[in-house]
Amino acid sequence: MTNRRQFIKCGLSFTALPLTGLSSLNMAVASPDGHSFKLESFVSDLRFGESVATASSLKAQGVPIAEITGDLTDLWIQQYSKQWKQKPMSLAGVTGKDALFVLETLAPDYGMRVIYRTEIHQEDNSPAQEDLELISWIIVPKQIANELT
């Protein structure tokens, strides 16, 4: 029988799937106990081809895409600060570590937390990306996180 921790390790690594060539994803994720969440936004960091490819696949499935170039200021001011004040949301991304740091720092103040993160090895680093770590991550409302863990 699969427990919740095994489910999270296997089932929630979907943000990395397009990087391995799989293009058909179901972004409504359900746990063995019937708890589920729908991905409400995906943050695509335009500095990374892997992120753009993932976003393209998810956009085709109807997932809203938020694009950044490392700096989250515009996204925060124009979108997330307003949405997060109304209610926590489920979001994921493939971004630089710098962008994730900002979101995971703000998330607890709005009732959310990171439940998944993994570094993605980049095959073709351009000189501008040499010092940038690429991270695949998921942030959900704390209530959902508590149900899944």
Domain boundaries, the chain: 43-144
Phi-psi region of 34 (alpha: psi -120 to 50; beta: other; left: phi over 0): left
From first to last of its 149 residues, what are the pLDDT tens digits of the chain?
333 443 334 344 444 444 333 233 344 555 445 556 789 999 999 999 999 999 999 999 999 999 999 999 999 999 999 999 999 999 999 999 999 999 999 999 999 999 999 999 877 655 555 568 999 999 999 998 888 77
Paired tokens of 18? 């397009």
Phi-psi region of 121 (alpha: psi -120 to 50; beta: other; left: phi over 0): beta
pTM metric for this prediction? 0.77
